Chains A and B, each alone.
Chain A
Amino acid sequence: MLRVEGLKAYYQMNYFGVRREVRAVDDVSLTIKRNEIYGIAGESSSGKSSLIKTIAGAITPPLRVVEGSVKFDFGGKELDVYAQRPAMKAARWKHLSYVMQGSMNVLNPVRKVKHAFHDFAFKHMGLSEGEFRARVESHLQRIGLDPRVLESYPHQLSGGMRQRLTIGLATVCEPEFIIADEPTTALDVLVQQDVLALIKGVQQRMGSSIIFVTHDMTVHAAIADRIGIVYAGRLVEEGPTLDVFQRPQHPYTAHLIASLPRIGDTRKRVALGGKPPNLADPPSGCRFHPRCPLAVDKCKSENPPLLARNTGRVACWRAGEVEAA
């Protein structure tokens, strides 16, 4: 369904002679199957949004694809996001939709919500105006929104409703692939649960694939089939959700899981020491090595490849020890 190969996307900036290159996505390869929910987790600023933007073909300068490819497979036809731009443009919303980070603010503040549906979806559906309206209304009802919201302006709706609306907007054409960046951040827990159920439900009904990003591990736990863990622009671990939670292979993942608090448990949790890596000047070798409790000399000089291990893949020279620790 989606094949990302050797993808490198950097923020290349040149302001008044100051050249900077932020390697936000550095050599990422992954594949996503039909009817699968793939979650991407990681530290703040580790490049999650950059990765997903690159996959969605939603990059604007200074973010540039340096190497690699992103290919979708819609109904047997392969579509290379960066090589076939017109086809890509035509596929948007029909086959592929995108929920941006901060999607509470993506609706045009001075137009009623219904116009957004019309602008984005009408041309793909091949319906008459009346049918289209009916379809949108029933779709909204299905995701628990009163169709009257169509006559509202975005600011008249609460954050949770807007979040739902953008999900509704992203799913109304029933695309085969949905890309979502932090679809539940900034929602309180009660609403968050509804939205997650909604996403899951839509996905099940349409059988689409979803790739989404969040740093909230409980969200991954709730809906993802597989998880990829990103650290400093690289995919460091990937595997079925349950396995990643229960048997993390990479020291960073292990630490992440261990630091999750639970109600009823007040045992002291230790935070990761050190400082997040600077993507403009990443550490040599394994990028996690300055903060890694297991680091050895090899980690400082050689970059570990992402290799299959157990049910998933991991990039660590000392993957074996992690399990043991």
Chain B
Amino acid sequence: MSALLELEDVNKDYRVGGFLDRSTLHAVKHVSFTLDAEKPEIFTVVGESGSGKTTTARMILGNETPTSGTLRFMGKGIAQVRTRKERLDFMSRVQPIFQNPFEAFNPLTTLDYYLFSTARRFLGLKDKAAVDAATDKALQHVGLSLAEVRGRYSHELSGGQLQRIAVARALIPGPKLIVADEPVSMVDASLRMSIVNLFRELRDTLGVSIIYITHDLSTAYYISDRVIIMHKGDVVEAGRAEEVLGNPTHEYSRALRSAVLPPDPVVASAIIREKLRAI
């Protein structure tokens, strides 16, 4: 098997603290995992806030260098990506999707600018018609069309649509991997579903691997192939989604699992009442 993405004992430390009380924070500790190039999958990272999910994602995207350990994308060390050309090349294979669809687009820029810019730069297209065609194709994948998007601003579209456009944009260069950091945490339940469904489609039809970062265990369960659970920078549990989430073994995973409230008033209120009594 050839690896798409390999993380080997990746660590990241931050210096934090104020004027006099500085200390080192180990944001990510000894993280290792591998994604297979041949077998696209949805690889989910879950964990409480501050557990190092975003930091890991940023390292994969090359926005952050690890304190130690190596990250390799298609055999090449991400840290070795230096020149602008290499960087563009890397970005054409690895693309991000951000948490807040309203934040990810500058409200003062038309949305198509992002799409066109991506097409021009990564596909090297000069011709207007070719750019339009490539853009439209990508939008079709997410169930939209260029006609609907052209000349519009982010506030003119719903969060779900924006997130789809973000995905479409990420698809334009024909990436192998999409890193989605909490792509649904800001939207309501219905929209959530439309986006995670889209991920599933991409994996199946375009063969794109997706690293899906979330603290929503329910959607994680819903779409993931594999899951890792992070806690204070450590990966505490990893494996197939049904196993890790359906039947967690690590203490923290179990706590997390049990904290998930089901959308059922009877069970949910009982859990809270239980909790109340415990205090």
Flag the segment in A79-87, A127-135, A215-223, A314-322 that touches B: A215-223
Find chain B residues with CB under 8 A from A249 CB: none
| CB 8 Å contact bits of A174-195 with B (1 = contact, 0 = none) | 0000000000000111111110
Task: Tell whether A188 pairs with B193 under 8 Å between CB atoms, given A144-B279, A221-B261, A262-B262.
Answer: no
Find chain B residues with CB under 8 A from A246 CB: 265
Q: How far is it, in angstroms, between the C-alpha of A190 and the C-alpha of B255 when the chains are bound? A: 8
Find chain B residues with CB under 8 A from A112 CB: none
Would A189 and B260 count as touching, CB distance under 8 A? yes
Nearest CB in chain B: distance from A101 CB, A: 13
Flag the segment in B28-36, B157-165, B166-174, B203-211 that touches A: B157-165
Find chain B residues with CB under 8 A from A158 CB: 50
Asked if B103 lies at the interface with its beta carbon under 8 angstroms from chain A, I say no
Flag the segment in A24-32, A51-59, A270-278 that touches B: A270-278
Nearest CB in chain A: distance from B184 CB, A: 11
Flag the segment in A91-99, A253-261, A301-309 that touches B: A253-261
Would A221 and B215 count as touching, CB distance under 8 A? no
Find chain A residues with CB under 8 A from B191 CB: 43-44, 271-272
Q: How far is it, in angstroms, between the C-alpha of A242 and the C-alpha of B265 when the chains are bound? A: 6
Task: Tell whether A221 pairs with B190 under 8 Å between CB atoms, given A189-B215, A263-B257.
Answer: no
Nearest CB in chain B: distance from A285 CB, A: 21
Would A272 and B265 count as touching, CB distance under 8 A? no
Task: Tell whether A192 pairs with B193 under 8 Å between CB atoms, given A44-B159, A197-B275, A266-B221.
Answer: no
Nearest CB in chain A: distance from B36 CB, A: 21
Task: Tell whether A190 pairs with B48 under 8 Å between CB atoms, given A44-B187, A217-B189, A261-B193.
Answer: yes
Would A188 and B276 count as touching, CB distance under 8 A? no
Q: How far is it, in angstroms, between the C-alpha of A272 and the C-alpha of B189 when the chains are bound? A: 10
Q: How far is it, in angstroms, between the C-alpha of A223 and the C-alpha of B270 when the chains are bound? A: 9
Asked if A268 lies at the interface with its beta carbon under 8 angstroms from chain B, I say yes
Nearest CB in chain A: distance from B178 CB, A: 19
Asked if A17 lies at the interface with its beta carbon under 8 angstroms from chain B, I say no
Asked if B239 lies at the interface with its beta carbon under 8 angstroms from chain A, I say no
Q: Which of A233-269 contact B (CB under 8 A)?
A: 241-242, 245-246, 255-257, 259-266, 268-269
Q: How far is it, in angstroms, between the C-alpha of A264 and the C-alpha of B221 when the chains are bound? A: 7
Asked if B272 lies at the interface with its beta carbon under 8 angstroms from chain A, I say yes
Asked if B61 lies at the interface with its beta carbon under 8 angstroms from chain A, I say no
Q: How far is it, in angstroms, between the C-alpha of A261 and the C-alpha of B160 when the chains are bound? A: 17
Would B219 and A261 count as touching, CB distance under 8 A? yes
Would A263 and B261 count as touching, CB distance under 8 A? no
Nearest CB in chain B: distance from A119 CB, A: 25
Asked if A109 lies at the interface with its beta carbon under 8 angstroms from chain B, I say no
Task: Tell whether A275 pairs with B158 under 8 Å between CB atoms, given A43-B188, A269-B197.
Answer: yes
Q: Which of B224-279 contact A (CB under 8 A)?
A: 245-246, 255-257, 259-269, 271-273, 275-276, 279
For A192, A222, A269, the residue with the greatest tally of chain B CB atoms inside 10 Å of its CB is: A222
Find chain A residues with CB under 8 A from B189 CB: 215-217, 256, 259-260
Find chain B residues with CB under 8 A from A270 CB: 193, 197
Q: How far is it, in angstroms, between the C-alpha of A263 and the C-alpha of B243 when the chains are bound? A: 11
- Of all chain B residues, the one with the shortest Cβ separation from A260 is B263
Nearest CB in chain A: distance from B42 CB, A: 12
Asked if A161 lies at the interface with its beta carbon under 8 angstroms from chain B, I say no
Could you jot down 19 A-B contacts, CB within 8 Å?
A43-B188, A45-B158, A188-B48, A189-B260, A189-B261, A215-B188, A217-B263, A218-B263, A219-B261, A220-B265, A222-B265, A222-B268, A222-B269, A241-B265, A262-B262, A263-B217, A266-B222, A272-B190, A275-B157
Those 3 A-B pairs whose CB atoms lie nearest each other, nearest first: A271-B194, A221-B268, A260-B263
Mark B residues whose CB is within 8 Å of A. Answer: 48-50, 157-161, 186-194, 197, 215, 217-219, 221-223, 245-246, 255-257, 259-269, 271-273, 275-276, 279
Q: Give me 5 other A-B pairs in contact (C-beta within 8 A), A216-B189, A259-B190 excluded.
A: A191-B48, A222-B265, A255-B190, A261-B219, A263-B260
